[in-house]
Amino acid sequence: MKKLIFRFFIIIISSVFLLITYLSIMGIETDKFNNQIREKIKKIDKNLEIDIKKIKLVFDPFNLKISAKTLGTKLSLQNSIIELQSVESSISLKSIINNEFSISNIDISTKSVEIKEIISFVRGITRNTKLLILQNFIKEGFLIADIKLEFDQKGNIKDNYDLKGFIKDTKINFLKKHKFEKVNFIFYHNQKETNLEKIQLSYNKLDLFFEKILIKNDKTDFLINGELKNKNLSLNNEIIKQFFNSDNYEIKEANLDSRNIFSFKIDKKLRLKDLAFNSKAKINKLVIKNNYELKEIFPNVKSEINFNNHDIEINYDKKKFEINGGGNILLQNSNDKLDYIIMKDKGGIKFDTLIEVKDNPLSINFLNFKKDTNDRAKINFKGEINEKNIKIEKILLKNGKNKIELDNILLNKDLKVLNLLKAKFDYFDNEDIKNYFQILNNDKNYSLEGSLLNANSFVENLLNSDDDNSFPFKNRFNLNVNLDQVRLDEEFTINNFKGSLTFKKNTFAQANLGGSFNNEKKIKITVNSTDNEKITTLYSDYAKPFVKRYKFIKGFDGGSIDFHSSKINTKTTSSIRIYDFKLNELPALTKLLTLASLQGIADLLTGEGIRFKEFEMNFNSKGSLMTIDEIYAIGPAISILMDGYIEKKQLISLRGTLVPATTLNKVIGSIPFLGDILVGSKTGEGVFGVSFKIKGPPKKLETSVNPIKSLTPRFITRTLEKIKKN
């Protein structure tokens, strides 16, 4: 009997154990709880419907719970339908024994569903407006998600829900301006935050990769921060124009590696604010179209500026914007080195830039300075830009023993100088002449002083320039000049060059300068201006340092020069007189003499030259057109009368009369009574002279000559005036 009872208990216990084991492993399927589940689902949301199949129950003997799981379920909320892979929940054994049904949690795994559908669905359940930002941004795409919900005793969803999954092939319109395609990422979402990881996307065919993006809700705004990391990123023109379009520069090409940490806020109206980011990048290549006039400084400058192998860090927030970087810059034929710090705040833009020019030329034409190709030069710019002007704290150029330094320069937006504290020049120029001079500011009364200034190139530019507004100063100021020596060329140097200059409206308004050559010969320059007229004069006991700069005149020697000009508005009327000089070569004149068979005079031009007592030229200029009213030269051997016009670099048109002095004396001497008084009874033979025309582009002049038997009254009149004067 005992054995029978024992066996019975063993069978019962074994059966219970096997049953528990079976229920724990295999479970059972039932639809007994479907109606109860539907009622509970309705308590979550009255519009929530569920299409549920049989539920598989699996017993958890350790926690005295039953795990319920169903497959192929569909949830619908208004117009949103979600197909689920599985739905799992836990039911306490106690609630079953008490004929109660209490769902403490639900774990939902979806199939691949449209993103907009599931976002709308979750928003409908949770009543959480935080998901509105995703719903507005996302236009299409698919996701697979796992949703964990917990319920309180009243059947309400607790705030500790979790949503995780991944998104595939999504399109997003961000702030209606930027469109993203092929978006793929893993996401985690709960009541407090949304975390996106391993984000891949395409923006205008540009592939980007974000390590992470975190979205938090602080009641009034969405706080968003993240990290963008890319390698070998190439930017096309479409992308570049959207982000870097400017009238001042045009980016042609860009390739870089970057790591960017960013943050910003989006308010309930989807307005972006408080943007901040830190970006560290390796610029492999950045090509910018060169719209700057740099040829005067970098002679071989190219049409594009290429930045390469640049390490750069950018920090930005609502208070400041800072760029710190350095690397190679290709302006000319080989790379130079560029380092820079740029900071922008409410006060303006501060900059500190250093460029090292290595195997490229560097020149400053108005100073006649040029760095040798194999030398190195460093140029440092440090200053600040604000809404009104540009303040340069320092410009420093160092090249071997050469040093050019400017301190505290104030410029306007047109790069005209408003103020300058000090400028110091200590350098060897292209002629291997050491220049040493400085400009000092004493309460806007400037002084130019020093031991030597080589003005050779300055005089050259002054004679060949038609720009009267090239001086870089904007405001009116005075400049006192006190230079020990001013070198005009290798032959002529002015000593004790002193005087004063007044600048007004970007040009010389008043000037009174003078000095002496080595043998006490004098030079004097004056400028006097009124409201309507500007009068400039130059007198020098030596004409040669000025005349010889005209390339078509060779072998000029001796003589003094007297120049006078009057400028009213844009028209300038001028006259030049040169006295007692000699010409050894004048190619155009030699051709005229030869064509006219005046061989004797032509021979003089290949020997000791032809002497002239006086040369006078009266002309007026407006823009690029010079109209020559008269050129008249008279000497013992020859006299010339010309007029015409010159369009600079385009056309020369001159005509005139050339007469040997012997013929001229004969003609004038034949005038009754007056001729005997002026020239006596000398006679000569041959033609009276030639008339000629010179016309064509400057490098292709054509000359035509016609012998003449009589002289024009105008020629005789001008000659008589000169003879009487002398």
| Domain match, 56 and 136 both | no
Domain boundary among 79, 111, 143: 111
The predicted pLDDT at position 554 comes to 63
Domain boundary among 289, 311, 345: 289
Whether residue 580 lies inside any domain: the answer is no
Closest CA to 612 of 566, 653, 560: 560
**What confidence category does residue 368 fall into, taking pLDDT thresholds of 50, 70 and 90?**
confident
CA distance 652 to 650: 7
Question: Higher model confidence: residue 561 or residue 459?
Answer: 561
| Domain match, 603 and 687 both | yes
| Domain match, 713 and 695 both | yes
| Domain match, 163 and 271 both | yes
| Domain match, 37 and 104 both | yes
Whether residue 235 lies inside any domain: the answer is yes
The predicted pLDDT at position 529 comes to 87
| Domain match, 211 and 77 both | no
CA distance 327 to 351: 16
Using alpha carbons, list the distances in angstroms from residue 244 to 236, 239, 373.
12, 8, 34
Residue 437: pLDDT over 90: yes
Mean predicted confidence (pLDDT) in 259-270: 83
**What confidence category does residue 121 fall into, taking pLDDT thresholds of 50, 70 and 90?**
confident
Residue 186: pLDDT over 70: yes
CA distance 682 to 663: 10
Residues forming beta bridges with residue 628, ordered by sequence position: 619, 644
Question: Higher model confidence: residue 703 or residue 673?
Answer: 703
| Domain match, 93 and 119 both | no
CA distance 239 to 351: 27
The predicted pLDDT at position 243 comes to 59
Residue 59: pLDDT over 50: yes
Mean predicted confidence (pLDDT) in 198-203: 85
Whether residue 120 lies inside any domain: the answer is yes
Whether residue 236 lies inside any domain: the answer is yes
Residues forming beta bridges with residue 425, ordered by sequence position: 404, 437
The predicted pLDDT at position 497 comes to 93
| Domain match, 200 and 272 both | yes
pLDDT tens digit string along 493-502? 999 999 998 8
CB 438 within 8 A of CB 450: yes
Structure tokens at 351: 């900059």
Residue 311: pLDDT over 90: yes
Residue 24: pLDDT over 50: yes
Whether residue 463 lies inside any domain: the answer is no
Mean predicted confidence (pLDDT) in 155-183: 78
CB 614 within 8 A of CB 722: yes
Dihedral angle sign, alpha carbons of residues 717, 719, 723, 726: positive
| Domain match, 191 and 258 both | yes
Question: Higher model confidence: residue 26 or residue 88?
Answer: 88
Residue 97: pLDDT over 70: no
pLDDT tens digit string along 276-299? 889 999 999 888 888 777 888 888
| Domain match, 100 and 53 both | yes
CA distance 172 to 157: 30
The predicted pLDDT at position 682 comes to 41
The predicted pLDDT at position 474 comes to 59
The predicted pLDDT at position 663 comes to 47
Sequence-distant contacts of 41-46: CB under 8 A, at least 24 apart:
41/75, 43/155, 43/156, 44/125, 44/155, 44/157, 45/77, 45/124, 45/125
- If you average pLDDT over each of 26-35, 186-195, 365-374, 424-433, which comes out highest? 424-433
Mean predicted confidence (pLDDT) in 197-205: 82
Domain boundary among 49, 83, 111: 111
CA distance 532 to 530: 5
Residue 352: pLDDT over 90: yes
Mean predicted confidence (pLDDT) in 701-712: 70
Whether residue 5 lies inside any domain: the answer is no
Whether residue 719 lies inside any domain: the answer is yes
Whether residue 553 lies inside any domain: the answer is no
The predicted pLDDT at position 679 comes to 38
The predicted pLDDT at position 688 comes to 62
| Domain match, 45 and 93 both | yes
CA distance 632 to 652: 18
CA distance 701 to 94: 118
Question: Higher model confidence: residue 573 or residue 39?
Answer: 573
The predicted pLDDT at position 329 comes to 93
pLDDT tens digit string along 383-398? 998 878 889 999 999 9
Residue 701: pLDDT over 90: no
pLDDT tens digit string along 206-259? 788 888 888 887 777 888 898 888 888 887 666 666 655 555 567 788 888 989
pLDDT above 70: percentage of residues in the chain: 74
| Domain match, 102 and 120 both | no
Residue 462: pLDDT over 60: no
- Single-letter amino acid, residue 262: F
Beta strand 445-454 pairing with 477-487? parallel
**What confidence category does residue 636 fall into, taking pLDDT thresholds of 50, 70 and 90?**
confident
The predicted pLDDT at position 499 comes to 93
The predicted pLDDT at position 232 comes to 85
- Single-letter amino acid, residue 413: K
Where in the sequence is the domain holding 72, given as residue range(s)? 27-111
The predicted pLDDT at position 207 comes to 82
Q: What is the DSSP string of 469-493?
A: T---B-S-EEEEEEEEEEE-SSS-E
Least confident of 86-90, 322-326, 542-546, 605-609: 605-609
Closest CA to 175 of 129, 231, 133, 221: 133
Structure tokens at 177: 């301006």
Using alpha carbons, list the distances in angstroms from residue 720 to 336, 517, 636.
67, 35, 14
- If you average pLDDT over each of 439-448, 521-530, 679-688, which comes out highest? 521-530
pLDDT tens digit string along 568-621? 888 889 898 999 888 765 555 555 555 454 544 545 555 566 788 888 889 998
**Burial class of 252 by CB neighbour count within 10 A (0 to 12, 13 to 18, 19+):** middle
The predicted pLDDT at position 293 comes to 76
| DSSP state at residue 151 | B
The predicted pLDDT at position 19 comes to 60
- Looking at the structure of the chain, the number of domains it has is 3
Q: How many residues does the chain have?
A: 726
Question: Higher model confidence: residue 705 or residue 724?
Answer: 705
